[in-house]
Amino acid sequence: FEVDPSNSIEELNESNNILTLDLFIDGIPDLEPVLISKKRTKENPNSVFFKYKIKNNGNIFVENFDYDMDFGDGTGQGGFVAEKINPGEYYSFNINKVYNSSGVYNVTLEVDSFDAIIELNESNNIVETSIYIPCDLSGNSTGIKRCDVQRIW
């Protein structure tokens, strides 16, 4: 902390305007993503609604963390969350994804993907799940979408 940094006040002693303080913060956060649910909508079986929570298993709060999501189809989503999560608490968020082709997709969510936060456990930052998409919306010569009505999860 510095008082009068531009020396606009004439003082007897100009060398005592800076205070340096070392702080010790006792504790380490630990972010862990948890998949709460994944649901397809009846209106569009290719639309998936993911619900996640990011839990802080550590012993000190954490704030300002990033996430990266891979939808398994070559697309993804990422971002920065400017929220404070106290120990034992969590932050919830939802993501919706519409898939264009039928198939099985492996979906991954990673928090603190840049390893910017020192954590108690760095190995629990990823959660994975698989989803089955029944319809191919990419189109064909008839313009009719093809759906596999036999497989529903």
- Tens digit of each residue's pLDDT (9 = 90 or more) over 15-32: 777 777 766 567 899 999
* pLDDT at position 75: 96
18: which DSSP letter? B
CA separation for the pair 10, 78 (Å, rounded): 51
pTM comes to 0.74
pLDDT in tens, the chain (153 residues): 667 677 778 877 877 777 777 665 678 999 999 999 999 887 888 899 999 999 999 999 999 999 999 999 999 999 999 999 999 999 999 999 999 888 899 999 999 999 999 999 999 999 999 999 887 766 555 544 556 544 444
Listed in order, strand segments (DSSP E) in 25-75 are 31-40, 47-56, 62-70
For 99, other C-beta atoms within 10 Å of its C-beta total 24
| CA 133 to chain CA centroid, nearest Å | 23
* pLDDT at position 152: 43
**In the block, which residue shows the tokens 């799940």?**
129
**In the block, which residue shows the tokens 């999860």?**
153
* pLDDT at position 153: 43
